[in-house]
């Protein structure tokens, strides 16, 4: 096997995000930077670092030719692909502010961000984004120029003019670029990243070149990334976790990034790409876990027992390697169990993962326990868009899976009197764009950023204990952490998603989305037609589900139990706007949508 080597670029050497890319190209010109799937060729293609930089120069020339200059804002409304990188790097080189837009965002959100950030040009992918812009055009204060990767069918009388990227790039072929990137101030504004907006309007987080460079460098000093590593990128690059860890850290280390085709094809892409590093939110691990548990349930008693032994002994091996326990005689069986069970399970994730990062929400203990025992190191971390984003992460040699890890080098944290986690570092944002009141509110008088999360510190590890605002208070005064309950409910493979309700109410209720594959045999066992949504109101079925939910919540206090439920088969996604693109629930939207069902659950109480 080839020796794995490190090749870090420091923030001091780079100074700004585009110079970082140029230094990487000088060091590794012929190494593979990006892999992507070309739909026209039906094959995976590659760009070296030098080829990528050549493309970036073309995009720079086109920005200059279009009259976009330093201090202007450009929107990027693409799925993850090389063109996302090319345009963003072109912006970084010219001191142009990049503004990521989720490719399937709502029209009102797009118009709001475009207007507030004063976006002059938006790069889109295809007809889907174009249709969104058409819906939003009446709300634009100043109509932005639009460049599309694919050819768009648009009416001649449209107020928005769209140019195909191929043509746009050709028009600027003779435009020369300069060394302007050398004069970009490290502390200057690089990007405005709008928060997901689970409630209310999103806020524009202002991040500088220095913010992101420092966060990326601190990250690789906590968890080593090698020149030979291969990332599979599928979280939206509009999400700061993916952008810093899945884009800038690979530039800083010389690792390769492969862009997944879609969430739907993620399982297939894992098998084809065979990544060594994966960045995800807990929901992905929850889905894989659910499928594994479901498959095991259909196995023979011997196979089930082998699976249990693999998890038990694999965990002992992990604990021993972490220095938390001595050797056990049972560990002599690990090589056999690893070959018969663990490796076969992990082969479905490509079979080469060195570790995986989980962030954005708590990862249930049962899930991390299983994967870690089987040999996949899932390192839980924590961060905020406002901190570029990483605040803490577990380390390979010092891992506490139930914690959010150890603060990064150079990142200071403290637990305030109200138990809130607060932080101060070079990675903390410049402030909120055009929102001094919100900026003032999130900082303490002595300059610490307030996370909004409750936490405790044990040794050098941080633990999140709750959310200051995400607490339900029942009419009897009892306080409930809804997110913890929702995570516990969805560990059961039958339950795809859930939202717990009860603010100001006498008891708790829930709206639950059932997994369609699991729903079919359950419905048939009750003599119900799984295709008929009226089956979801069957009283025997509802009693069965309430019992299953109670089993999931057996570790919670007696008052934290679900007494009434509403069932649904329609998944909550970012396409129907029930989830943000970061896969967080839009609670207000869901409560409004299910208002009649919620009122019915509390009728007579």
Q: Is the Cβ–Cβ distance between 495 and 514 less than 8 Å?
A: yes
Question: pLDDT per residue over 584-602, tens digit each?
Answer: 788 888 999 999 999 999 9
Residue with tokens 């938390």: 324
Q: What is the distance between the alpha carbons of residues 84 and 278, in angstroms, rounded to a whole number?
A: 19
The predicted structure's pLDDT at residue 408 = 98
The predicted structure's pLDDT at residue 362 = 81
The fold for domain 472-601 equals GMP Synthetase; Chain A, domain 3 (3.30.300)
Q: Model's pTM, two decimal places?
A: 0.86
Work out the pLDDT band at 1, boundaries 50, 70, 90: very low
As annotated, the residues of the chain forming the CATH 3.40.50.12780 domain(s) are: 13-184+223-278, 283-467
CA distance to 101, 142, 146, per residue, from 159 (Å): 20, 11, 11
The fold for domain 283-467 equals Rossmann fold (3.40.50)
Mean pLDDT, residues 471-484 taken together? 78
Tokens (6 digits) for 305: 């027992």
Question: pLDDT per residue over 573-585, tens digit each?
Answer: 888 888 876 677 8
Question: pLDDT per residue over 381-425, tens digit each?
Answer: 999 999 999 999 999 999 999 999 999 999 999 999 999 999 999
Name 39's Cβ contacts closer than 8 Å, sequence gap at least 6: none
Work out the pLDDT band at 558, boundaries 50, 70, 90: confident
Q: Is the Cβ–Cβ distance between 405 and 383 less than 8 Å?
A: no
Q: Residue 198 pLDDT > 60, yes or no?
A: no
Tokens (6 digits) for 241: 């976790």
Q: Write out the DSSP string of 56-106.
A: HHHHHHHHHHTT--TT-EEEEE--SSHHHHHHHHHHHHHTPEEEE--TT--
Work out the pLDDT band at 554, boundaries 50, 70, 90: confident
Closest by CA position to 546, among listed 508, 518, 598: 508
The predicted structure's pLDDT at residue 197 = 53
CA distance to 135, 364, 407, 414, per residue, from 421 (Å): 41, 21, 11, 6
- DSSP, collapsed to helix, strand or coil, labels residue 131 as helix
As annotated, the residues of the chain forming the CATH 3.30.300.30 domain(s) are: 472-601
Work out the pLDDT band at 479, boundaries 50, 70, 90: confident
Question: pLDDT per residue over 498-544, tens digit each?
Answer: 999 998 888 999 999 999 999 999 999 999 999 999 999 999 999 99
State what percent of residues in the chain have pLDDT above 90.
Answer: 80
The predicted structure's pLDDT at residue 169 = 97
Q: Which CATH class name applies to 13-184+223-278? A: alpha beta
Closest by CA position to 128, among listed 105, 145, 160: 105
Question: pLDDT per residue over 337-357, tens digit each?
Answer: 999 999 999 999 999 999 999
Q: What is the distance between the alpha carbons of residues 10 and 25, in angstroms, rounded to a whole number?
A: 15
Mean pLDDT, residues 190-205 taken together? 81
């Amino acid at each position: 096997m080839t020796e794995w080597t490190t090749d870090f670029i420091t923030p001091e050497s780079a100074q700004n995000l585009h110079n970082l890319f140029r230094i990487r190209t000088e060091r590794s010109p012929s190494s593979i930077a990006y892999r992507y799937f070309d739909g026209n060729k039906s094959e995976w293609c590659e760009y070296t670092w030098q080829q990528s930089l050549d493309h970036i120069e073309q995009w720079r020339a086109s920005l200059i030719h279009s009259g976009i200059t330093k201090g202007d804002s450009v929107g990027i409304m693409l799925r993850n692909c090389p063109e996302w990188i090319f345009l963003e790097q072109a912006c970084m080189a010219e001191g142009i502010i990049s503004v990521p837009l989720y490719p399937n965002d709502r029209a009102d959100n797009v118009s709001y961000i475009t207007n507030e950030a004063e976006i002059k040009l938006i790069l889109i992918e295809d007809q889907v984004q174009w249709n969104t812009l058409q819906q939003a055009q009446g709300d634009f204060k100043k109509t932005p120029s639009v460049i599309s990767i694919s050819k768009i069918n648009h009416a001649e009388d449209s107020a928005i003019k769209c140019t195909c990227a191929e043509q746009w790039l050709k028009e600027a072929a003779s435009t020369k670029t300069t060394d302007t990137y050398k004069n970009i101030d490290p502390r200057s504004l690089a990007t405005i990243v709008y928060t997901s907006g689970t409630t209310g309007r999103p806020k524009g987080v202002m991040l500088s070149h220095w913010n992101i460079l420092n966060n990326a460098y601190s990250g690789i000093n906590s968890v080593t990334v090698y020149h030979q590593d291969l990332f599979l990128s599928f979280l939206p690059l509009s999400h700061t976790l993916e952008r810093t860890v899945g884009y800038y850290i690979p530039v800083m280390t010389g690792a390769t990034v492969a862009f997944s085709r879609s969430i739907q094809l993620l399982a297939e892409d894992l098998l084809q790409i065979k990544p060594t590093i994966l960045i995800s939110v807990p929901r992905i691990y929850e889905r894989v876990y659910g499928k594994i548990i479901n498959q095991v349930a259909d196995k023979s008693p011997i196979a089930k027992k082998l699976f249990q032994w693999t998890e038990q002994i694999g965990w002992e091996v992990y604990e021993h390697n972490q220095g938390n326990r001595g050797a056990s005689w049972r560990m002599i069986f690990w090589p056999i169990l690893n070959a018969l069970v663990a490796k076969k399970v992990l082969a479905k994730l490509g079979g080469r993962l060195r570790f995986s990062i989980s962030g954005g929400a708590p990862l249930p203990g049962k899930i991390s326990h299983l994967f870690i025992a089987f040999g996949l190191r899932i390192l839980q971390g924590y961060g905020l868009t406002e901190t570029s984003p990483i605040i803490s992460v577990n380390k390979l040699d010092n891992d506490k899976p139930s914690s959010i890890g150890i603060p990064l080098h150079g990142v200071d944290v403290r637990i305030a009197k109200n138990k809130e986690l607060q932080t101060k570092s070079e990675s903390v944002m410049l402030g909120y764009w055009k929102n001094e009141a919100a900026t003032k509110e999130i900082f303490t008088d002595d300059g610490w950023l307030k996370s909004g999360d409750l936490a405790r510190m044990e040794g050098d590890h941080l633990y999140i204990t709750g959310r200051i605002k995400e607490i339900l208070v029942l009419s009897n005064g009892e306080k409930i952490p809804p997110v913890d309950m929702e995570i516990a409910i969805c560990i059961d493979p039958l339950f795809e998603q859930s939202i717990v309700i009860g603010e100001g109410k006498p008891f708790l209720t829930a709206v639950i989305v059932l997994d369609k594959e699991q729903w079919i045999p359950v419905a048939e066992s009750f003599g119900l037609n799984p295709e008929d949504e009226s089956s979801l109101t069957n009283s025997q079925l509802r009693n069965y589900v309430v019992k299953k939910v109670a089993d999931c919540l057996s570790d919670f206090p007696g008052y934290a139990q679900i007494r009434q439920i509403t069932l649904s088969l329609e998944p909550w996604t970012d396409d129907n706007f029930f989830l943000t693109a970061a896969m967080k629930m839009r609670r207000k939207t869901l409560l409004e949508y299910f208002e009649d069902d919620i009122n019915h659950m509390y009728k007579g109480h």
